[in-house]
Amino acid sequence: MQSTQKAIDIRGLTKTYGHNRGIDNVSFSVDRGEIFGFLGPNGAGKSTTIRCLMGLIKPTGGAADILGMDFLTQRHDIMKRVGYMPSETQFYPSMKVSEVIRFAADVRGMDCREEAAKLCERLKVDTNKRVEELSLGNRKKVGIVCAMQHKPELFLFDEPTSGLDPLIQAEFFELVQEYVSGGTTCFLSSHVLSEVKKYCGRAAIIKEGRLIATDTIENLAHTNAKSVRIVGLRDIALDGAENIIRHDNAVEFIYNGNINALIGELWDKKITDLTIEEPSLDDVFMHYYGTDE
């Protein structure tokens, strides 16, 4: 496979459920060797996008290449080289953890015992337990082992850290970074901004089925919008002011309007302090989600 190819290249991917929205004309690409975040609140279309890519649901329109292969016609070859973990990991309840991990490797026709043992040790997975005895977090850990044990070229993780305790979350990202430093690409969806900020180089933001931004984490944080804090005012009514947080003697908001209009609005007000700065990624995130189409 040529190194110049994208790990994931999605073009106009659309999925509708009758008259209901799924995802609409989603396009973005993920470079090889990067950790790419896919941000969005619950129901935004993250899982629908991923489930389309994994061939679990048929898209209504659009195209995608995964590791340079067509996601519809070359699915079998793609799956050999991808490790996937769904957001709600479920296995066969009567099976032991060791049997589940072995089954996933056997289906792939691979002997993954060494890698699986390493992963189980680092993630503290008890392989003798039955799946029905496992908590959500422990099932998630088994899902991570199943997704990583065959050392795939691409990870596709759908909200991988939900249900994991902070120590295991840290261990998980350490593992991801180790694999990525060895050439693996990681695409992960999340609604936890902090982990995307901390571990991802680039991210896409999806809202109500539509992609609203794709950029580096740094650029996403540098929009025209400003984070404004005014001390001495309890409220403000101004076009372009969004996500307004009112305190006893201060007001904070994201301002996406003309700066002169803001200054004009404050001209005759008795304020004691004014701070205008670049918004944090959290602010940007809220800005995107808080704005109606």
Partner 1 sequence: MTLYKHELKMNRMSFAVWFLGVASMCAFCVFLFPVMEESMGDLSDAFASMGGFSAAFGMDQLPITTLEGFFGTEIGTIYALGGGMYAALLGIAALSKEETAHTAEFLHTLTLSRRGILTGKLAAIVTLLAAFGLLHYGVFLSASALIGESIDLRSLTFFTLAQSLCQLELAAVCFALSALSKRSGLGVGLGLALVLYVLDLVSRITDKAAFLQYITPFSYANATDIFVNRGIEAIPACVGGVVALTALATAYFIYTRRDIAA
Residue type, 156: L
Quick one: CA dihedral 123, 128, 134, 140, positive or negative?
A: positive
Q: Which is nearer to partner 1, 61 or 264 (CB)?
A: 61
Decide if residue 69 touches partner 1 (CB under 8 A).
no
Which residues are registered as beta bridge partners of 10?
Answer: 28, 64
Side chain identity, residue 125: V
Total length of the chain = 293
Find the binding residues for partner 1 in span 136-165 (CB under 8 A). 143, 146
Q: Is position 107 an interface residue for partner 1 (rule: CB under 8 A)?
A: yes
Closer by beta carbon to partner 1, 19 or else 58 = 58
Integer distance in angstroms from the first to the last C-alpha of the chain?
40
Can residue 44 be called a binding residue for partner 1 (CB under 8 A)?
A: no
> Contact between 117 and partner 1 (CB under 8 A)?
no
Shortest spacing between CB 155 and partner 1, in angstroms: 12
Among 92, 170, 174, 271, binds partner 1 (CB under 8 A): 92
Rounded-to-integer distance, Cα 134 and Cα 144, Å: 14
Q: Does 79 bind partner 1 (CB under 8 A)?
A: yes
Does residue 73 interact with partner 1 by CB under 8 A? no
Instruction: Strand 154-158: give its sheet, edge to edge.
Output: 82-85, 154-158, 185-190, 35-39, 202-207, 210-216
In the complex, least distance from residue 189 CB atom to partner 1, rounded to whole angstroms: 13
**Contact pattern from residue 186 through residue 225 relative to partner 1, giving x for each residue in contact according to CB under 8 A and a dash for the rest:** ----------------------------------------
Give the distance, in angstroms, between the CA of residue 250 and the centroid of all CA atoms in the same chain: 33
54 part of the interface to partner 1, by CB under 8 A: yes
CB 191 within 8 A of CB 203: no
Tokens of 81: 């080289």
3-state secondary structure of 163: coil
Say whether residue 56 binds partner 1 (CB under 8 A).
yes
Q: What residue ranges bind partner 1 (CB under 8 A)? A: 47, 51, 54-58, 75-76, 79-80, 82, 84, 86, 88-94, 103-104, 106-109, 143, 146
